[in-house]
Amino acid sequence: MRVLSLGAGVQSSTLLLMAVHGELQIDRAIFADTQWEPKEVYDWLGGLVLVAGAAGIPVETVTAGNLRDDSFSKPGWIMSLPLYVAGTETARPGILNRACTNGYKLRPLYRRIRELGATAKRPADVLVGISLDEAHRMKPARVQYIRNEWPLIDRRMTRGDCLLWMDRHGYSRPPKSACIACPFRDDASWRAMKDADGSEWADAVAFDQAARGMSQAKDRRDLFVHRSLMPLPMVDLSNQRDAGQTDMFDTECEGMCGV
């Protein structure tokens, strides 16, 4: 069984469309939905479902629930998104551990693959959208019933090569796949969301505000979506260059986290 881990970003979308064109073989693609992606990602995913379906490749969605809603499911608790933690006189600034990828991307994907019959004796081959420029993120699967493969690495393809492949085959370029208030967004991404002046910016601002005081740390230090440790509406996003935000947003979530 050959399964594509589909994040609906550049790299995994390229792999799915390469399968549509007969350049590689997969039995199905699985999208793990955090239920908190931007609308443009879901629109793009819908198009992929149609194109792949016409080629006889099923694309299915699995989910562990709504990441945003689950983040505030307990009083005084916030799900371990990699939010930035304010410093104090006795504590340095920091960042929370990232548990969202494991809980909302990996686990539902792995669970579905087990349901499809993968075992340690007959493991599934899972194709992962990691490109040559991020080869350091390659990791083996955490379970014995999955063997990870990296077709883009094998083909020596970078993210830029994926975009060129899209161009040559007449496809539009995919949106960047990440949750609406992902702390790994860079300033250009935040600025684009703000300039769109829609519900997603309002959602991110509301989430950032709600995170304040919802720390798991005993000292109850404030949490922020933006690395500047400022409330999102107060961050200067007017500069053309990234202002220090973690530069990880050129990769989609599953590539970043090494599914």
Q: How far apart are CA 219 and CA 226, in angstroms?
A: 20
pLDDT digits (tens, 9 = 90+) for 136-163: 889 999 899 999 999 999 999 999 999 9
Q: For 65-112, write each residue's pLDDT tens digit.
A: 999 988 877 665 666 789 998 877 677 888 888 888 999 999 999 999
For 65-124, give the DSSP string.
--HHHHHTSSTT-------EE---SSS--EE----HHIIIIIHHHHHHHHHTT--SSSPE
CA distance 125 to 11: 17
Give the amino acid at 214: M
What ranges do the domains of the chain cover? 2-256
pLDDT for position 215: 58
187 Cβ contact list (under 8 Å, min separation 6): 235, 237, 239, 241, 242, 243, 245
Q: What is the pLDDT of residue 95?
A: 86
What is the separation, in whole angstroms, between the first and last Cα of the chain? 17
Kindly indicate whether the domain formed by 2-256 is annotated with CATH number 3.40.50: yes
Q: Can you point out the beta strands (E) in 122-228?
A: 124-127, 146-149, 223-224
**Residues of the chain predicted below pLDDT 50:** 242-252, 254-259
Is the pTM higher than 0.75? Answer: yes
Counting residues of the chain whose pLDDT is more than 70, the rounded percentage is 86
